[in-house]
Structure 1
Amino acid sequence: MSSQSPASEQAPRNLFTRFLDTVEWLGNLLPHPVTLFALLATAMVFVSGIFGWMGVAVEDPRPNVPDGTMIEAVSLLNAEGLRMILGNLVSNFVNFAPLGVVLVAMLGVGVAEKSGLLSAMVRGIVMNAPKHLVTVAVVFAGVISNTASEMGYVVLVPLAGAIFLALGRHPLAGMAAAFAGVSGGYSANLLLGTIDPLLAGITQEAARLIDPTYEVFATANWWFMIVSTFLITAIGSLVTIFIVEPKLGRYDSSRADPAVVKDSKMEPLDGREKKGLIAAFIALLALLGLIAVLVIPDSGVLRDPAVDSSNFLASSRPFFRSVVAWIFVFFLVTGFAYGRIAGTMKNDRDIIDGMASAISTLGLYVVLVFFAAQFVAFFGWSNLGLITAVTGADFLQSIGLTGPLVFLFFIIMCGIVNLSLGSASAQWAVTAPIFVPMLMFIGYSPEVIQAAYRIGDSTTNIITPMMSYFGLILAWATRYDKNFGIGTLIATMLPYSICYFIGWTLLFFLWVFGLGMPVGPGSPTYYTVPG
């Protein structure tokens, strides 16, 4: 397989092309994320030993501690440190917040995926859209599908290519639009998915380095995610129609795998699938009704009786704490309702098979979490996270960079880091313990910090070979164009990345600092260190 298209082989390699080559080369030098966390955890032990021996310390700026209290580096490279590491190896793992929430949510998602509900929803959105709105439907379906991201990559991207080909349009334009929605719009959605509790758990762990009681809910960025869905859909559609499709030109089917062209016609939803979707919708309405009964009344079961009921958000904290459980219930109930009517699920054994199938795909994730949890724990025990946060906050204050502009540099940094470390959870597990406390010290909430991180992470997903599904997208593309390579894919997706970054960053500043809107229910914009 050629690594570049003929056009890219003849074109001069400009500065930006060389930059992308350098990023790819550096990314290839990085070890596997599991190995990376194992090395980071090991390095943290030795670094803590060095800093502890040097007596590194900073004054604790929190007003709830006596003046002159110092935060000192704690060495783990001694007998006490060894006892702490070995004695807490298991508890670090099982108590790591993101682990449980992802496992529970995926149990429900597995049922919906196994029954065919997720695939039918995407096909229904895209294939039933008016011809002139197909591009919009593809991007929108991509954003919605990232509730269960694997389904979007595996089902929607090749489906979009087949639909565009059937309509006489360039199939790679359809795949690009779907990829832009699924991956570029990874942090935009109308629904909550498995990534939301995962990131919230990591953010909470980082926030608790300076505030041990701080809670970050899976709904932390929900309002901003909803409004972002329409922005990402609009930008992705416009870029596809006015930039990507004209650049690709007329499709030459002679460069494709003949079997792909021959089998490109996609079948619409059949009668049983449509009835299944209706059943799933009825089940969804029933669940929403149940939530309304449990949450809306002042005496609702999911309202906190100890909090004034006139403050709806504060008194509804029991509901927000149970969001992961509701994600599980929603996917489980709607998935089985669809499968029972569509004929893809008949009994409890099918439900169990769906759950088991989903969990079986998380083996690598569980291994990664084990080492990530050790790194985060070591970072906290050593006090290096707090020392770095205080030092960084002091530096930002000394140069006067404490206003909203700090988020522009933060988003850019997250996007650059993502080019070499393509996993959203892996990158956030490394950076959150540093930047969440740092930006909290200068007055911003963990929820807003997380929203900014998600913009930087999502916008560069589609141009980094380090993203786990990049190779799969490339493989799908080469079935339509045998000369399609890494450079071609990056060049095709780059306009989306640039436009998403500009548009999404502007929306962030307008939404948070211009309009003063919260990024999620009960999510503050600013944070005051408790006194």
Structure 2
Amino acid sequence: MRVSQTKTAMNQKGFLGFVERVGNGLPDPVFIFFYLILILVGVSIVCALAGVTAPHPTLTTADGSPLLLQAQSLLSAENIQKLWVEMPKTFTHFHPLGYVLVVMLGAGVAERSGLFASGIRQAVRNAPKGLLTPVVALVAMLSNHAADAGYVVMIPLAAIIFAAAGRHPMAGIAAAFAGVSGGFSANISPGQLDALLFGITEAAMDASQIDAGWSMNIAGNWYFITALLVIYLPVIWWVTDKVIEPRLGEWTPAGDQAAAYGDESAPLTDDERKGLRWAGYAILGVCLVWALMTFGPGTPLLNDEAAVDGQPWYVTATPFFRSLVAGFLVLFLAAGWAYGAAAGTIKTHRDLVDMMSEAMKDMGYYLVLAFAAAHFVAMFNWSNLGLITAVHGAGAIESSGLPLPIALGLIVIFAAFLNLFVGSASAKWALLAPVLVPMLLLLGISPEGATATYRVGDAATNIISPLMVYFPLVLIFAQRWQKDFGIGSLTAMMIPYSIWMLITGVLLVMGWILFGLPLGPGAPIGFDLGAVTGG
């Protein structure tokens, strides 16, 4: 649908117009990594020639003095050999790659069988009118486990439900968009995003050369993302009902405006309801199996040796935490298969294999992006610039006199600003993690704390960034109800959500570090590196 010339011109003015022009001029994230690698090569040469160094935070020489890190040129014979000889290893050993592909094998079945779409429809369509906004916001945030289904199903469905309740459909779109995208990291349990981000965090820790005894835990932000959900829910509710909807004014339907949406608001069929019941039984069965492997005879998902040695419980439970990636594969696969068998969307095992194959086809772009990101992270490691920058960055923060909570708040704001120009959450974290993770570790913040800090800033500005991949789709949904609704209109409608979610998110991060609360099971926000290294 064409937007009017006047509205387009208005969009080019002011700060938002600047963001749109600059953002649209950026290359694809894959090429951003390619250009950054070229820049990194040049910087490594200059730093090597200039003799840039930093004391290693944990390693020492024979006489007990800190090992001196020296910047290495990426055009040295050794690093050129690494680039070409280890290229397959560099790509296939990139931690996020395996985590995401494993989870998506199951999530692809759950999505393509119709489980996610039916679950969302069932959860929202019977919501009481007085609680319509918080129910929509809650289901929208929970729908992030459903990947694309949250955007494709939840947002247009929310508009129809609001219209059926006599409320402005744009308010429904705003509340759902804020929940799905602004609340991207808020949820009641870990999921695909946690596997992706913590995979990158683990890669950054490996590249940092800091032996911190840290082990990747997909549940490392569980408590934090639950707190985000609890905080964002009233924020979205208040902004929708008290700020956005009053400004939208009274809505008067013109013709059959919901017709363009097909049957998204139609009641579930008997087969779909049966499918949801079967999916529920499958989820319960998988949870029982995992509980049996954790607490039953033999306890294969517990480290019995750690328990005997008197290690903390979360060390004993390390195999359980690391099994959750496979656990989500089995959970999504079993639930999607059970739903499809009952609803008739999966008739033979070949349908199941086809759905898994389609899910892998959708990951094609991610594989290309992961190839570029893997080499950027690896080459950053080879140059020693990541750890050198982290050491000097940590020293700069300490010498600045800024309290650590304020420093973390500024990092959240920086990530939110960067999100306006680089829409991919994984691409941004692959860029930032090699510096932020070791830098914050040297300041006493755990890798889980660094990840939590980043994800708050990453999500808050999703809803006002035209570079976010689903922004044009949401605009089309809005134009079905109001034809002259443009990019500027959508951005202006979502700015109040972005501001308040960013403010509350920053306050949550600062409060979390002030009170030293755990971010998840066995995942403290503080980290005593000296206790690990004996320093």
Query: Which bin holds the TM-score, normalised by the shorter protein?
Result: over 0.9
Give the CA deviation at 1:35.
0.7
CA distance in 1, matches of 2:36, 2:425: 17
CA distance in 2, matches of 1:43, 1:237: 45
Q: How does 1:333-344 map to 2 (within 5 A)?
A: 333-344=334-345
Give the CA deviation at 1:55.
1.8
Aligned 8 A contact 1:149 1:182 in 2: no
Output the aligned Cα RMSD. 2.2
1:214 is matched with 214
> Unmatched 5+ residue regions in structure 1?
none
2:187 is matched with 189
CA distance in 1, matches of 2:332, 2:234: 28
1:317 is matched with 318
Aligned 8 A contact 2:405 2:511 in 1: no
Give the CA deviation at 1:6.
7.4
Aligned 8 A contact 1:462 1:470 in 2: yes
Give the CA deviation at 1:402.
5.0
Give the CA deviation at 1:348.
1.2
Q: Report the residue type matching 1:318 in the other structure.
A: P
1:270 is matched with 269
TM-score by length of 2: 0.93
Establish whether residue 526 from structure 1 lines up as the match of residue 526 from structure 2. yes
Give the CA deviation at 1:105.
0.3
CA distance in 1, matches of 2:7, 2:30: 37
Q: Secondary structure at the match of 1:191?
A: coil
Aligned 8 A contact 2:95 2:200 in 1: yes
1:201 is matched with 199
Kindly tell me: are residues 265 and 524 of structure 1, through their superposed partners in 2, closer, same or farther at Cα, counting changes over 3 Å?
closer
* 1:39 pairs with one of 31, 35, 39: 35
Q: Secondary structure at the match of 1:59?
A: strand
Q: Secondary structure at the match of 1:401?
A: coil
The alignment covers a number of residue pairs equal to 525
CA distance in 1, matches of 2:87, 2:132: 51
1:407 is matched with 408
Aligned 8 A contact 1:207 1:436 in 2: yes
* 1:128 pairs with one of 126, 129, 145: 126
Give the CA deviation at 1:130.
1.4
Q: Secondary structure at the match of 1:199?
A: helix
Kindly tell me: are residues 3 and 52 of structure 1, through their superposed partners in 2, closer, same or farther at Cα, counting changes over 3 Å?
farther
Kindly tell me: are residues 2 and 395 of structure 1, through their superposed partners in 2, closer, same or farther at Cα, counting changes over 3 Å?
same
Q: How does 1:198-347 map to 2 (within 5 A)?
A: 198-208=196-206, 209-212=208-211, 213-254=213-254, 260=259, 266-297=265-296, 299-308=298-307, 311-347=312-348
Give the CA deviation at 1:168.
2.2
2:18 is matched with 22
Q: Deviations over 1:152-209 (max 9, x none)?
A: 1111111111222222221111111111111000001113221111100111121231
Q: Deviations over 1:37-90 (max 9, x none)?
A: 111122222221222122211222336554152110011113322111111111
CA distance in 2, matches of 1:454, 1:393: 20
Give the CA deviation at 1:381.
0.5
* Aligned residues with identical type, % of pairs: 43
Q: Report the residue type matching 1:455 in the other structure.
A: V
Aligned 8 A contact 2:144 2:184 in 1: yes
Establish whether residue 50 from structure 1 lines up as the match of residue 56 from structure 2. no
CA distance in 1, matches of 2:384, 2:256: 57
Aligned 8 A contact 2:260 2:480 in 1: no
Aligned 8 A contact 1:192 1:327 in 2: no
Q: Report the residue type matching 1:41 in the other structure.
A: I
Aligned 8 A contact 2:409 2:509 in 1: no
CA distance in 2, matches of 1:126, 1:362: 29
Kindly tell me: are residues 194 and 10 of structure 1, through their superposed partners in 2, closer, same or farther at Cα, counting changes over 3 Å?
closer
Q: Which runs of 4+ in 1 moved over 6 A?
A: 4-11
Give the CA deviation at 1:308.
1.4
Establish whether residue 166 from structure 1 lines up as the match of residue 164 from structure 2. yes
Q: Secondary structure at the match of 1:223?
A: helix
2:517 is matched with 517
CA distance in 2, matches of 1:76, 1:9: 46
Kindly tell me: are residues 10 and 186 of structure 1, through their superposed partners in 2, closer, same or farther at Cα, counting changes over 3 Å?
closer
1:379 is matched with 380
CA distance in 2, matches of 1:108, 1:454: 24
